[in-house]
Amino acid sequence: MSNEVGKITWISGPVVRAKGSRNVGMLELVEVGEDRLVGEVIGLKGDQMTVQVYEETAGMQTGETIYGTGLPLSVELGPGLIQSIYDGVQRPLPLIEQAVGSFINRGARFDSISREKKWKYTPKVKVGDEVKGGDILGVAMETDTFEHRVMLNPDDKGTITWVAGAGEYTVNDPIAKLKMGKEEKTVTMLQRWPVRKPRPFTDRRGANIPLITGQRILDTFFPVAKGGAAGIPGPFGSGKTVTQHSIAKWADAEVIVYIGCGERGNEMTEVLQEFPHLIDPRSGRPLMERTVLIANTSNMPVAAREASIYTGITIAEYYRDMGYHVALMADSTSRWAEALREVSGRLEEMPAEEGYPAYLAGRLAEFYERAGYVNNLNGSQGSVSIVGAVSPPGGDFSEPVTQHTKRFIRCFWALDKSLASARHFPAINWLDSYSEYLEDVGNWWRERTGKDWLAMRNRAMELLSEESRLSQIVKLVGPDALPFTERMVLETTRLIREGLLQQNATEAVDAYSSVEKQIRMLELVLYFHERGMAIVKRGAPINLIHDLPVVDKIIRAKSTINNEELQKFDDLQKEIDQQMGQLDAEYRQ
């Protein structure tokens, strides 16, 4: 289906120019050169076309042919996506390895979705049904427990004239026939969708359910809503990847799309080797059975890195359309922006800030706009939440990618080098971070826990900002100059920092805190504060509070009390009562 559309006239890295047909479309997928490397038309002028090539161009010559396909760059959608690992243009990496060995060769072509594998399929429509785009025609079991809802292509509608009975089918087997006007159309489980075009939905709903991640500083302090967008900027080694891995492991989403965009090979390998062995506490199944991986590492072709973000988000939207909650992680969006810059530079476009093209902000906006909690075409509800890592040069947040990203997200998790150096993890700075979803998700917390989470959370934040003010003074004159009531604040904030905010991703008990555990911890620390404050106000010296044995226990509770034995927090509270009670009695007169 491909025909000659031009001859190459110029090559520079991932960008080539060619001369030929005037009928090539903007953003059309083309095959470049005799090796038929995958490329995309990114500029047209008269009979000149500019193409970005998704594979290494070394060895390519001028005069080689470009072949058109008539289609935009698209992904294949259907059962088999889950548990897959693809490169940025959806080439299946395991098949490439089988075919050409440990190193990625260019020109290797494989179907993104297996044509042979059979799926257990049950129809959900019958002959005579009127169906429209997005409607669920049937379900295929994508894993033992995951229902892949096979939908009619968003652009189609008509009357069902035939359906396949329950059985096992490949993605090429017909599962229904449809009368669309005069035409009859055969439907299979396989669809294509152009990656740069958002998949349609009916309308957006309010985002008022938090995406629970089990990370205390996120859920309790800076929550992101399902369908929301969060940015996690930070210098190298501050914890972007570890945080994203933690979210990918623990978030209460039904599908995870993880995009390793211009980052390390070993990090993707880590996910690949770890996720099949980690059990999702909700489904009881391996985490891999809800995960789609896109790996376009830093040493893989840069144009495919640019595409990887779109490949990932399109897959995420597809599962959203089925009525699932999907969480997408992109590590790192800065590398994607740099890919834009690199291609733009080769095109000699006018740069805006720091060499980035002027359309950087627009592209970022388009990407984050694809997050959302929506009413789907088929009436179901689903969401795509986006967590994008940002890698600012020199850790300086004033650079263009961080600044523009800030405009399009509502949740900002600012990583801090000095916290990371002191091994305070997650090194998310509580004073620089914010969430605009706080009010939206307050109700959910109340219904779930019966407690006023927001008030407690705000109280804790108040103490932390008070601490920041006090530590300025301490730095100048030492802690002894502070009155005991202020030093009591410092005692409590130490508990908040070390007991609550710090969370070790590598330790079994601490890695994931349930919502209930989080609220109990928060409550306990604030309780400690109120009681301590009362006693100090009566004149008890602060070191007596500092030395209470229960303090150490509270700090250690995160890793000594697991999610199933929360009654132990009652015991801790009793210990506070008992130890503080004694002091209280002593200083009552």
Partner 1 sequence: MSETTILGGQEVVGVGRIEGPILVVEGAANVSYDEVVEIKDSRGELRRGRVLEVGEDFAVVQVFAGSTGLSIDGTRVRFLGNTLHIPVAEEMLGRIFDGLGNPIDGGPEPLTDRYADVNGQPINPTARIYPRDYIQTGISTIDGVNTLLRGQKLPLFSGAGMPHDQLAAQIVRQATLGKLAGAPQTEGEEFAIVFAAMGVKNDVADYFRRSFTESGALTRVAMFLNLADDPPVERIVTPRAALTLAEYLAYEKGMHVLVVLTDMTNYGEALRQISNVRGEVPSRKGYPGYLYSDLASLYERTGRIRTSEGSITQIPILTMPNDDITHPMPDLTGYITEGQIVLGRELNFAGIYPPVTVLPSLSRLMKDGIGKGRTRDDHPRWGAQLYAAYARTQDVRALASVIGEEELSDVDQKYLKFGRAFEREFVNQAFTENRSIERTLEIGWKLLSILPKKELTRVNLDEIEKYYTGTDASN
Ligand X SMILES: Nc1ncnc2c1ncn2[C@@H]1O[C@H](COP(=O)(O)OP(=O)(O)OP(=O)(O)O)[C@@H](O)[C@H]1O
The site for ligand X (CB under 6 A) is made up of: 234, 236-242, 391, 425-426, 503-506
- The CA distance from 173 to 118, in Å, is 9
Q: Could you tell me if 309 and 350 are in contact, meaning their C-beta atoms sit under 8 angstroms apart?
A: no
Residues in the chain: 589
Give the containing element (helix H, strand E) for 199. Answer: none
Q: Which does 278 bind (CB under 5 to 8 A by kind): Mg ion, ligand X, partner 1, none?
A: none
Q: Tokens for 457? A: 């959370």
Nearer to Mg ion, 240 or 346 (CB): 240
CB of 259 to partner 1, least distance (A): 13
Assign residue 458 a region: left if phi > 0, alpha if psi is -120 to 50, beta otherwise? alpha
Among Mg ion, ligand X, partner 1, none, the one that 497 touches (CB under a kind-dependent 5 to 8 A) is none
194 CB-side CA count, 13 A: 14
Size of the site for Mg ion (CB under 5 A): 2
CB of 317 to partner 1, least distance (A): 24
> Which residue, 344 or 391, has its beta carbon nearer to ligand X?
391
Nearer to ligand X, 390 or 515 (CB): 390
Give least dist CB 426 to ligand X, A: 4
Q: Which stretch binds Mg ion (CB under 5 A): 86-94, 179-187, 235-243, 276-284?
A: 235-243
Binding partner selected for residue 426 from Mg ion, partner 1, ligand X, none, CB under the kind-specific 5 to 8 Å limit: ligand X
The least distance separating partner 1 from the CB of residue 456, rounded to whole angstroms, comes to: 23
DSSP H or E segment with residue 228: none
Partner from partner 1, ligand X, Mg ion, none binding residue 359, C-beta < 5-8 Å depending on class: none
Burial label, 122 (beta-carbon count in 10 A; 0-12, 13-18, 19+): middle
Residue 234 binds: one of Mg ion, ligand X, partner 1, none (C-beta under 5 to 8 A by kind): ligand X
Give the 3-state DSSP-derived string for 538-553, with helices as H, strands as E and coil as C. CCCCHHHHHCCHHHHH
Residue closer to Mg ion (CB basis): 300 or 374: 300
Q: Which does 96 bind (CB under 5 to 8 A by kind): Mg ion, ligand X, partner 1, none?
A: partner 1
Nearest Cα residue to 108 out of 124, 123, 90 = 90
Which one of Mg ion, ligand X, partner 1, none is in contact with 556 (Cβ closer than 5 to 8 A by kind)?
partner 1
Integer Cα distance of 422 and 585 in angstroms = 39
Residue 238 touches Mg ion, criterion: CB under 5 A: no
Nearest residue (CB) to Mg ion, 242 versus 566? 242
Q: How far is the CB of 106 from partner 1 (least distance, A)?
A: 8
Q: In the complex with Mg ion, which residue's Cβ is closer, 240 or 290?
A: 240
State the residue number with the nearest CB to Mg ion.
241
Retrieve residue 446's tokens. 């109340």
On whether the CB atoms of residues 473 and 487 are closer than 8 A, the answer is no
Q: How far is the CB of 240 from Mg ion (least distance, A)?
A: 5
Maximum CA pair distance of the chain?
97
List C-alpha distances in Å: 571 to 497, 563, 580. Answer: 22, 15, 14
Residue 118: helix, strand or coil by DSSP? Answer: coil
Nearer to partner 1, 63 or 362 (CB): 63
Q: Is the CB of 311 or the CB of 385 nearer to partner 1?
A: 311
In order of 210, 507, 512, 522, the CA distances from 503 in angstroms are: 19, 9, 9, 14
The partner in contact with residue 552, picked from partner 1, Mg ion, ligand X, none with C-beta cut-offs of 5 to 8 angstroms by kind, is partner 1
In the complex with ligand X, which residue's Cβ is closer, 267 or 289? 267
Query: C-beta of 241: minimal distance to Mg ion in Å?
Result: 3
Cβ distance to ligand X smaller for residue 285 or 424: 424
Q: Which does 578 bind (CB under 5 to 8 A by kind): partner 1, Mg ion, ligand X, none?
A: none
How many angstroms separate the CA atoms of 544 and 583, rounded?
A: 8
75 binds, among partner 1, ligand X, Mg ion, none (CB under 5 to 8 A by kind): none
Minimum distance from CB of 22 to ligand X (Å)?
44
- Candidate list 106, 148, 240, 363; residue touching Mg ion; CB under 5 A: 240
Which residues, listed in sequence order, are joined to residue 51 by a DSSP beta bridge? 16, 41
Closest CB to partner 1 among 64 and 440?
64
549 binding partner (options ligand X, Mg ion, partner 1, none; Cβ < 5 to 8 Å by kind): partner 1
Determine the Cα–Cα distance for residues 138 and 322; give it in Å rounded to an integer. 11
Establish if 531 lies at the interface with Mg ion (CB under 5 A).
Answer: no
What are 157-162's contacts with CB under 8 Å, separation 24+? 157/130, 157/131, 157/132, 157/133, 158/130, 158/131, 158/185, 159/128, 159/129, 159/130, 159/131, 160/125, 160/126, 160/127, 160/128, 160/129, 160/130, 160/131, 161/127, 162/127
Which positions ≥6 away from 17 have C-beta within 8 Å?
Answer: 8, 9, 10, 11, 48, 49, 50, 51
Window contacting Mg ion (CB under 5 A); options: 160-168, 238-246, 252-260, 443-451: 238-246
Q: Determine the 3-state secondary structure of 182 from DSSP.
A: coil
- 241 binds Mg ion per the rule CB under 5 A: yes
Binding partner selected for residue 12 from ligand X, partner 1, Mg ion, none, CB under the kind-specific 5 to 8 Å limit: partner 1
The residue among 151, 365, 331 whose CA lies nearest residue 256 is 331
CB-wise, 89 or 390, nearer to ligand X? Answer: 390
Nearer to ligand X, 117 or 556 (CB): 556
Minimum CB separation of residue 503 from ligand X in Å reads 6
Q: Answer whether 271's CB lies under 8 Å from 245's CB.
A: yes
Q: Least distance from C-beta 333 to partner 1, angstroms?
A: 13
| Residues of this chain that bind Mg ion (CB under 5 A) | 240-241
